[in-house]
Amino acid sequence: MKKLLIKNIGILATPLGSSARGGEAQGAVQMTKNAWVLAEDGVIAQVGEGTPPAAADAQVLDAGGNLVTPGLVDAHTHLIFGGWRQNELGLKLHGKSYLEIQNAGGGIQSTTNATRLASVEELARKAERALDEMMSFGTTTCEAKSGYGLAAEHELKALQVIRDLDRRHPMDIAATFMGAHLVPAEYKERREEYVRLVCEEMLPLVREQGIAKFCDVFCEADTFTVEESRRILEAGKRYGLTPKIHADEIEAIGGSQLAGEVGAISAEHLIVCPQEGIDSMAKGGTVACLLPATSFYLGADFAPAKQFQQAGVPVAMATDFNPGSCPCLNIQLVINLGCLKYRFTPEEVLTAVTLNAAAAIGMADKVGTVEPGKQADLVLWDAPDLDYICYRMGSNLVRQVIKKGSPV
Ligand code: NIG
Ligand code: FE
């Protein structure tokens, strides 16, 4: 049996349980001083306070009196894409909006062109580097979407890359099919045909290959309407995929209401989410997955995080890593913004990037807290306490990442 003992933990900060925490409970983080954690075969076996057990056969890591938390969970990334879009920075500086750039053939369409040209090997190499970087910042589990293929062949290519990386990279990856990220240029005048292609051709293939867990739609003005999104998410359900939805990022066209109605596991962005959307999500048991680094990067408003909390909706926070609206892999920046822009406490933010994020990708029974029975995914920080990692900005404060009981 492979054992790992982490001793001399100054503070072990972790939420508890295996389901999302909303309202006041979001801030209920257990802080244990002078703690230790024993992992056996990749799983947390014991957590204690004071003198650690004598474990002669264990590898021992000394946390040096520092903070330890669960491994962080990045519940929203567009990991697989060809090229980058640095050319759009100049356009933005000249006043072009996100949707203007998209409608002029930039944005998602230009990344789609590059992704279609990229080979499986190229996409895998690039995504692997991104995963390495994410892990260096403390992320031990993530979600990854397709959505830059927008044709059966290329959507499946992206999902295959995700599946292969999940198998060979230490990161656990939950795969999301997002064939409805944009109506691609060749279907511009035939959008109904594209919606049918997603529902009747792509989804059956995704199901057949058992290659995704979630189905996501970009429900937005100029992308997919509420009715199209509903059709796609309902079709996804029939093929065994749990709904997720990009809603209310730019215009409130009804995406968050739809999230609750279709029982989406999470709704993402929600920058301009109206109260009806919040209420619908509360009723539907949907996690609000907020993406503050995207708001920052777009120069947009920040989602009404406190209103979700007041309604008891659990809040998760994630990077939204993608080549357009948020080319950022560092979830520590999300932690900073979660406090400074959403006004969440460090405890509430920790829950947002661990337990609630795990719940947003259906993995809260396995990751997101430090408790016996959970996977031994932990971060040893170069920080004395939780406040410190929320307060410092721009440095990588990770000292050691532990994945399935092994130092990475
Ligand atoms: O979550 N909003 C839709 N999709 C991404 C951006 C995609 C892109 O610009 O390439 C997002 O922000
Ligand atoms: Fe996104």
Q: If you average pLDDT over every residue of the chain, what do you get?
A: 97
DSSP string computed for 8-22: EEEEEEE--SSS---
DSSP string computed for 341-355: TT---HHHHHHHTTH
Residue 181: nearest ligand to its CA? 1
d(C-alpha 260, C-alpha 334), whole Å: 25
Which of 99, 325, 334 to mutate for ligand 1's pocket (most ligand atoms within 8 Å of CB)? 325
**pLDDT range class, residue 214, cuts 50, 70, 90:** very high
Of 22-36, 93-107, 221-235, the poorest mean pLDDT is in 93-107
Percent of the chain with pLDDT over 90: 97
Q: Give residue 99's pLDDT.
A: 84
Express each pLDDT in 376-395 by its tens digit.
Answer: 999 999 999 999 999 999 99
Which of 108, 222, 328 to mutate for ligand 1's pocket (most ligand atoms within 8 Å of CB)? 108
* Secondary structure string (H, E, C) spanning 190-247: CHHHHHHHHHHHHHHHHHHHCCCCEEEEEECCCCECHHHHHHHHHHHHHCCCEEEEEE
Find the mean pLDDT for residues 319-340.
98
**pLDDT range class, residue 102, cuts 50, 70, 90:** confident
The position carrying tokens 């999230």 is 259
Find the mean pLDDT for residues 229-235.
98
Are 154 and 205 a contacting pair, CB within 8 Å? no
* 155 has a pLDDT exceeding 90: yes
d(C-alpha 284, C-alpha 259), whole Å: 8
d(C-alpha 324, C-alpha 9), whole Å: 39
> What is the residue type of 22?
G
Residue 77: nearest ligand to its CA? 2
DSSP 8-state secondary structure symbol assigned to residue 364 = T
Residue 298: nearest ligand to its CA? 1
User: Which protein residue's CA is at the shortest distance from atom 1 of ligand 1?
Assistant: 320
The number of the ligand 1 atom at minimal distance from the alpha carbon of 81 is 10
For 300, other C-beta atoms within 10 Å of its C-beta total: 16
* 98 has a pLDDT exceeding 90: no
Residue 212: both structure tokens together: 């995704």
Q: Give residue 215's pLDDT.
A: 98
Q: Give residue 222's pLDDT.
A: 86
Express each pLDDT in 178-202 by its tens digit.
Answer: 999 999 999 999 999 999 999 999 9
Are 175 and 163 a contacting pair, CB within 8 Å? yes
What does the radius of gyration of the chain's CA atoms come to, in whole angstroms? 21
**The pairing of beta strand 58-62 with beta strand 266-269:** unpaired
> What is the residue type of 116?
R
**The pairing of beta strand 139-145 with beta strand 72-74:** parallel
**pLDDT range class, residue 26, cuts 50, 70, 90:** very high
* 104 has a pLDDT exceeding 90: no
**pLDDT range class, residue 56, cuts 50, 70, 90:** confident
Find the mean pLDDT for residues 39-51.
97
**pLDDT range class, residue 275, cuts 50, 70, 90:** very high
Q: In what helix (H) or strand (E) does residue 117 lie, and over which residues does it extend?
A: helix 107-117
Q: Which residues, other chains included, contact 273 with Cβ-Cβ below 8 Å and sequence gap of 6+? A: 247, 248, 252, 256, 288, 303, 304, 307, 308
| C-beta 70 within 6 A of ligand 1 | no
Distance (angstroms) between ligand 1 centre and the Cα of 198 equals 19
* 103 has a pLDDT exceeding 90: no
Q: Which residues, other chains included, contact 321 with Cβ-Cβ below 8 Å and sequence gap of 6+? A: 74, 77, 78, 79, 130, 134, 327, 328, 329
Q: Give residue 284's pLDDT.
A: 98
Q: Give residue 55's pLDDT.
A: 84
> What is the residue type of 115?
T
d(C-alpha 325, C-alpha 268), whole Å: 13
